[in-house]
């Protein structure tokens, strides 16, 4: 509140009478408040800091080395020589762009190669790859649903699904995070009022690091004649003994789920998104989804990198085992140090919940001073009482990296909370 007052409200828009001042838009105030807070706390704004190297278990920012927990290269495949070589070869043969929508002249052999490989890997009929993970959700949901439809989304669902529902003009209701009884209640109360119903969940939640009960979801969607979408952006390469995701872990036939969504930007060390499922779904999207039909095909180096990373993941399941080991190690160490990891299951995404945005930002700053790079997640990205540090653990961290980070986090958090008097004055 106090910080709000530091930034004068200036929503009338046209200072100086020249061109429109976009910094006067209401949402832009958030940025000003962040800057004012950082200045007051005498810390750097913890966003947009350029890394000077490939960020893996370690990184460099401005000539300083850090143990890095802010990158979602979960299986350590970014920069793998096979992945880089595949990207280079594709670029040499096909150039840097496919220079058209795939529908009209942009189709190249590597598109179908990746799609067939990812569909086979997941155990479904087919897949379609698009240029962005976020846009994949937006265009797929925006296109498959309409104003007479309902989306029942987990309360912690990713923004790309929310935006897709907005585009569709469908109704969105949220059920409490991972609360299947609440979902069942909503289905019983609302199903009959709508034409189609889509239940949307994540395979591994990107802020809390927990997973939904797939068996109950499949039973509920079957009973209530709904569709199920599972966004596996963070689950691919992470969940299930060989990284095939939630269906593999739960021993459920992946074909029981209508829509599997995933990204190329995490374990697959690239950029883009995909939808995997039945041949009919994939053919329909390829023929009609605006974000696919009216957008360029994914570029050669990008698709080839994802394909090579996928093949490496498939050939080397020990990467997943190492990642699982590291995640569990982090969780155990964090709990032993008295840190609040919420509902995290020890699967690559490990929050340390602090419950105060200013303390979270300060702890992240002090951790950086001590050589650990971790991102604070603060209001409004999460509610104030859920402000946290989010650690992404990957397969290439050593136990020593993890132990060091946990020990420093516990020490610095305690010290920062003790500084509390000054802070609470600031936040009052
Ligand atoms: N879904 C989820 C659950 C995500 O966390 C993200 C982004 N991190 C996306 C979709 C969008 O993917 P991308 O960043 O690859 O566009």
Predicted confidence (pLDDT) per residue in 194-212, tens digit: 999 999 999 999 999 999 9
- 326 CB within 6 A, ligand 1: no
Q: Please compute the mean of the pLDDT values over residues 225-233 and round it to a whole number.
A: 98
Q: Please compute the mean of the pLDDT values over residues 285-303 and round it to a whole number.
A: 98
- 233 CB within 6 A, ligand 1: yes
Higher confidence at residue 375 or residue 33?
A: 375
* 58 φ/ψ angles, rounded to the nearest 5 degrees: -130, 155
- Specify the DSSP element, H or E, that contains 365: helix 357-369
| Statement: residue 4 has pLDDT above 80 | no
Q: How confident is the model at residue 31 (pLDDT cuts 50, 70, 90)?
A: confident
Q: How confident is the model at residue 32 (pLDDT cuts 50, 70, 90)?
A: confident
| Statement: residue 424 has pLDDT above 70 | no
Which atom number of ligand 1 is nearest to the Cα of residue 272? 15
Cα 164 versus chain centre, distance = 16
- 267 CB within 6 A, ligand 1: no
| Residue 263 Cα to ligand 1 middle (Å) | 6
In whole angstroms, give the CA distance from residue 249 to residue 230: 14
Residue 111 known to be catalytic: no
Pick the CATH number of 81-315 from 3.40.640.10, 3.30.230.10, 3.40.50.300, 3.30.70.890: 3.40.640.10
| Statement: residue 108 has pLDDT above 70 | yes
| Statement: residue 5 has pLDDT above 70 | no
Q: Are 217 and 228 in contact (CB under 8 A)?
A: yes
| Statement: residue 287 has pLDDT above 80 | yes
- Specify the DSSP element, H or E, that contains 19: none
- Strands (DSSP E) contained in 5-79 are 58-61, 64-68
| Statement: residue 10 has pLDDT above 70 | no
pLDDT at 14: 53
In whole angstroms, give the CA distance from residue 201 to residue 303: 26
| Statement: residue 369 has pLDDT above 90 | yes
Residue 206 known to be catalytic: yes
Which two three-digit tokens encode residue 169? 């003009």
| Residue 44 Cα to ligand 1 middle (Å) | 26
pLDDT at 47: 84
Please count the other Cβ atoms lying within 10 Å of the Cβ belonging to residue 329.
18
| Residue 91 Cα to ligand 1 middle (Å) | 25
Positions of CATH 3.40.640.10 in the chain: 81-315
Which two three-digit tokens encode residue 118? 């990812």
Q: Are 141 and 165 in contact (CB under 8 A)?
A: yes
Question: Taking the chain, what is the end-to-end CA distance rounded to the nearest angstrom?
Answer: 7
Q: Are 405 and 67 in contact (CB under 8 A)?
A: yes
- 134 CB within 6 A, ligand 1: yes
pTM of the full predicted structure? 0.94
Which atom number of ligand 1 is nearest to the Cα of residue 157? 3
* 198 φ/ψ angles, rounded to the nearest 5 degrees: -115, 130
Compute the half-sphere exposure of residue 85: CA atoms within 13 Å on the CB side of its CA.
4
Average pLDDT over all residues of the chain? 94
Q: How confident is the model at residue 118 (pLDDT cuts 50, 70, 90)?
A: very high
Higher confidence at residue 181 or residue 21?
A: 181
Q: Please compute the mean of the pLDDT values over residues 51-59 and round it to a whole number.
A: 92
- Strands (DSSP E) contained in 131-234 are 150-154, 171-175, 197-202, 227-231
Higher confidence at residue 284 or residue 3?
A: 284
| Statement: residue 133 has pLDDT above 60 | yes
Q: How confident is the model at residue 16 (pLDDT cuts 50, 70, 90)?
A: low
| Statement: residue 151 has pLDDT above 80 | yes
Q: How confident is the model at residue 28 (pLDDT cuts 50, 70, 90)?
A: confident
- 232 CB within 6 A, ligand 1: no
| CATH level 3 topology of 3-7+38-68+318-427 | 3.90.1150
pLDDT at 15: 53
Three-point CA angle 72, 73, 74, nearest 5°: 85
Catalytic residue among 158, 221, 224, 266: 266
Q: Please compute the mean of the pLDDT values over residues 59-74 and round it to a whole number.
A: 96
pLDDT at 30: 76
| Statement: residue 426 has pLDDT above 90 | no
231-272 tens-digit pLDDT:
999 999 999 999 999 999 999 999 999 999 999 999 999 999
| Residue 61 Cα to ligand 1 middle (Å) | 24
Positions of CATH 3.90.1150.10 in the chain: 3-7+38-68+318-427
């Amino acid at each position: 509140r106090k910080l709000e007052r530091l930034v004068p409200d200036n929503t009338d828009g046209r200072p100086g009478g020249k061109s429109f001042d976009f910094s006067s838009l209401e949402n832009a105030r958030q940025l000003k408040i962040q800057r004012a807070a950082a200045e007051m706390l005498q810390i750097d704004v913890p966003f947009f800091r350029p890394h000077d190297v490939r960020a893996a278990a370690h990184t460099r920012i401005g000539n300083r080395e850090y143990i890095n927990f802010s990158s979602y290269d979960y299986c350590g495949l970014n920069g793998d020589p096979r992945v880089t070589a595949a990207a280079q070869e594709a670029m040499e043969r096909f150039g840097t762009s496919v220079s058209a929508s795939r529908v009209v002249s942009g189709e190249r052999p590597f598109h179908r190669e990746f799609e067939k490989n990812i569909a086979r890997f997941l155990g479904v009929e087919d897949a379609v790859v698009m240029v962005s993970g976020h846009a994949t959700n937006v265009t797929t949901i925006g296109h498959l649903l309409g104003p007479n439809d309902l989306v029942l989304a987990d309360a912690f669902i990713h923004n790309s699904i929310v935006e897709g529902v907005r585009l569709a003009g469908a109704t969105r209701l949220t059920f409490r995070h991972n609360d299947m009884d609440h979902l069942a209640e909503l289905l019983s109360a609302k199903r009959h009022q709508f034409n189609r119903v889509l239940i949307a969940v994540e395979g591994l939640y990107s802020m809390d690091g927990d997973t939904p009960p797939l068996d109950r979801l499949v039973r509920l969607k079957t009973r209530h004649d709904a569709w199920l979408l599972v966004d596996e952006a963070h689950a691919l390469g992470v969940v299930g003994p060989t990284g095939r995701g939630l269906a593999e872990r739960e021993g459920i036939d992946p074909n029981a789920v209508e829509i599997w969504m995933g990204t190329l930007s995490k374990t697959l060390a690239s950029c883009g998104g995909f939808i995997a499922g039945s041949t009919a779904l994939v053919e329909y999207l390829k023929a009609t989804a605006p974000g696919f039909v009216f957008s360029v095909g994914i570029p050669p180096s990008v698709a080839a990198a994802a394909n090579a990373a996928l093949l490496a993941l498939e050939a080397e399941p020990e990467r997943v085992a190492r990642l699982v080991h590291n995640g569990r190690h982090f969780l155990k160490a964090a709990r032993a140090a008295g840190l609040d990891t919420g509902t995290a299951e020890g699967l690559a995404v490990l929050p340390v919940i602090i419950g105060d945005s200013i303390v979270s930002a300060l702890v992240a700053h002090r951790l950086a001073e001590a050589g650990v790079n971790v991102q604070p997640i603060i209001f409004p990205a999460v509610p104030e009482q859920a402000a946290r540090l989010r650690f992404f653990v990957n397969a290439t961290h050593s136990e020593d990296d993890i132990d060091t980070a946990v020990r420093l986090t516990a020490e610095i958090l305690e010290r920062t909370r003790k500084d509390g008097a000054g802070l609470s004055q600031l936040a009052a």
